[in-house]
């Protein structure tokens, strides 16, 4: 079993703490290592990995710590983004506690992949805000907001997905063709309320290859989660 990064330093009032969905991403990447070994086999150039919405940084730290096990190579570059500056700082701290922080280029305060040039990302990982909500929270702090209001906004950024829980994820999916390199692959989490069957059907209609790489779920109203591998 691959080691799980330490995130005890995370403030749950301002940053998303690791939960079932986070660990599902780790398990999925581990179980999909055979594909990653083959897809990024040397002597191809070192892959650039982008995690959107890093939160605590547990996923980026896991990748950084286990590059050889996951990819069969150590020359991997890793970058993260998050709209929450506190989460970016938490991610940097989480990575600093790993045995292989040199793979990490940094966590940028940004709206998804906005700072990056087109076609440079070889692997994109996204555990999105997927809960259906009436609206999306503002990406920026409101002028004159109280501490409670600001903490509420930051937490809403971690879960509020708008209509069908898909407004943020839909933006990412629409931009995959521009963000990913020719060999690029994306791992994106969907829950049952996101209508994953319809999402995948639409992607395949656009020429993408889609395969469910991981999944979990419980009875009693808990969301059923799926992680899809999407590539050309």
Each domain of the chain, given as residue ranges in start order, spans 20-231
User: What are the phi and psi torsion angles at 101 (to 5°)?
Assistant: -70, -10
Q: What is the pLDDT of residue 103?
A: 85
Q: What is the pLDDT of residue 210?
A: 98
Residue 216, class by beta-carbon neighbours within 10 Å (0-12 exposed, 13-18 middle, 19+ buried)?
middle
Q: How many CA atoms lie within 13 A of 17 on its CB side?
A: 8
Q: What is the pLDDT of residue 220?
A: 42
Starting at the earlier edge strand, list the strands of the sheet with 121-126: 104-109, 77-82, 48-52, 121-126, 180-191, 225-231, 209-216
Q: What is the pLDDT of residue 218?
A: 57
Give the separation between CA 52 and CA 107, rounded to whole angstroms: 9
Q: What is the pLDDT of residue 184?
A: 98
pTM: 0.95
Q: Are 77 and 60 in contact (CB under 8 A)?
A: no
Which tokens hold the place of 166? 């898909």
| Cis ω before 43 (30° cut-off from 0) | yes
Per run of 10 residues, the mean pLDDT along the chain (length 232 residues) is 86 93 97 98 96 97 95 96 97 90 90 97 97 94 90 95 96 98 98 94 98 78 84 96
Who contacts 47 (Cβ-Cβ below 8 Å, separation ≥6)? 40, 71, 76, 77, 122, 123
Superfamily of domain 20-231: Vaccinia Virus protein VP39 (3.40.50.150)
């Amino acid at each position: 079993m691959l080691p799980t990064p330490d995130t005890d330093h995370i403030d749950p009032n301002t940053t998303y703490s690791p939960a079932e969905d986070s660990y599902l991403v780790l398990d999925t990447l581990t179980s999909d290592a055979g594909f990653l070994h083959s897809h990024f086999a040397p002597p191809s150039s070192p892959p650039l990995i982008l995690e959107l919405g890093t939160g605590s940084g547990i996923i980026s730290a896991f990748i950084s710590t286990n590059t050889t096990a996951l990819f069969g190579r150590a020359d991997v570059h890793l970058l993260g983004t998050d709209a929450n500056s506190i989460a970016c700082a938490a991610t940097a701290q989480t990575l600093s506690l790993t045995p292989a922080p040199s793979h990490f280029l940094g966590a940028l305060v940004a709206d998804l992949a906005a700072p990056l040039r087109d076609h440079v990302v070889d692997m994109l990982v996204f555990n999105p805000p997927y809960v259906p909500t009436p609206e999306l929270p503002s990406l920026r702090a409101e002028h004159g907001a109280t501490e409670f209001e600001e903490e509420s906004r930051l937490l809403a950024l971690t879960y509020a997905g708008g209509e069908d829980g898909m407004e943020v994820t839909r933006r990412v999916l629409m931009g995959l063709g521009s963000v990913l390199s020719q060999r690029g692959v994306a791992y994106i989490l969907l829950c049952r309320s996101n209508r994953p069957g319809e999402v995948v059907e639409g992607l395949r209609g656009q020429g993408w290859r889609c395969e469910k790489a991981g999944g979990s779920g419980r009875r009693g109203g808990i969301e059923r989660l799926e992680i899809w591998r999407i590539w050309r």
